[in-house]
Amino acid sequence: MLNKLFLKPITAKIITWIAILIIGYFFIWAIYLDFNREFDHDEFQHVHISWCMKEGMSLYRDIVDNHGPMYPFINATVWKIFNLPDSFFTIFLFRSISVIFMFAIVALTFRIARLLYDSNIAWISSALLISSYTFFRKAMEIRPDVMMTFFFLLGLYFMLKAIQKNTPDNKLLAYGIICFSFALTFHIKISIPIVLFLIGFVICTSKRKLLIKQVYWIAIPFSLILFVLFISGSLSEFIRLTISSEYRFAYCVSTERSKCSVLGILSGK
């Protein structure tokens, strides 16, 4: 692929090896920073919510949170089952898990790029991702977005793998859709992009005789979460604190930005 960009084979190899060295450097740097950098206030928020659930409190009913329920549920379960201490050891453990998922995201980026192009492009794509300032700083933090991104990319990989075959693999397609649904349980605000992606995917691949009914798999993990919230009496608070408040906040921010833009234009700034 790099040769098509008017690069000589030797130049393409050099660029690839530079990308590999960049990835290796940032991997080592991430392991060091995992235990030697400041905490973001959001990290303490997610740890505190997980601790509250571990102590028997009900998410959304007893604890205010605007994220999906899966991340604190996983943390609280690990905390309870392994009887982890209420100390910095547990906080660093959760951050280390985020670092592992960060590495997994980079690995999935490599697999997807290699699936679509070749190994050279895959190494360069992975190097560009891990060297991104925002990704590198935030992906190692205790955040639901990290696991959410992992499952979203895993779903994308399965679906691309399914449609690349001469006979589309509907089992892989189902795995991909389930991963998308699982990603939704971490952060509700990505529901609209995922739904739009699935609609576009169905439209673009309908000529290849994919089983469109596979899309119903997206409802399975998410419906299970909604059922548990309904049984615990937290469903209405979940809708109010996540779905309603998130999109209302997004609307308010976009409206205010539009007003600022209009005022800036009118004032000549």
For 125-176, what is each residue's pLDDT tens digit? Answer: 999 999 999 999 999 999 999 999 999 899 889 888 877 766 666 677 777 7
What is the C-alpha to C-alpha distance for residues 75 and 197, in angstroms, rounded to an integer?
A: 29
Q: 233 pLDDT exceeds 70?
A: yes
Three-class secondary structure of residue 190 per DSSP: helix
pLDDT value at residue 7: 53
Dihedral over alpha carbons 83, 102, 192, 259 (to 10 degrees): 110
Q: 28 pLDDT exceeds 90?
A: yes
Beta bridge partners of 59: 63
Q: Are 179 and 151 in contact (CB under 8 A)?
A: yes
For range 23-39, the mean pLDDT: 93
What is the C-alpha to C-alpha distance for residues 229 and 238, in angstroms, rounded to an integer?
A: 8
pLDDT, greater one: 242 or 69: 69
DSSP 186: T
What is the C-alpha to C-alpha distance for residues 50 and 52, in angstroms, rounded to an integer?
A: 5
Looking up tokens 């993990």 gives 221
Q: Which two tokens stand for residue 264?
A: 């800036």
- Single out the residue of 183, 184, 241, 187 nearest to residue 66, CA to CA: 241
Identify the weakest region by mean pLDDT among 11-25, 75-89, 119-133, 162-176. Answer: 162-176
pLDDT value at residue 213: 56
**pLDDT > 90: percent of the chain:** 39
Q: 3 pLDDT exceeds 70?
A: no
pLDDT value at residue 77: 93
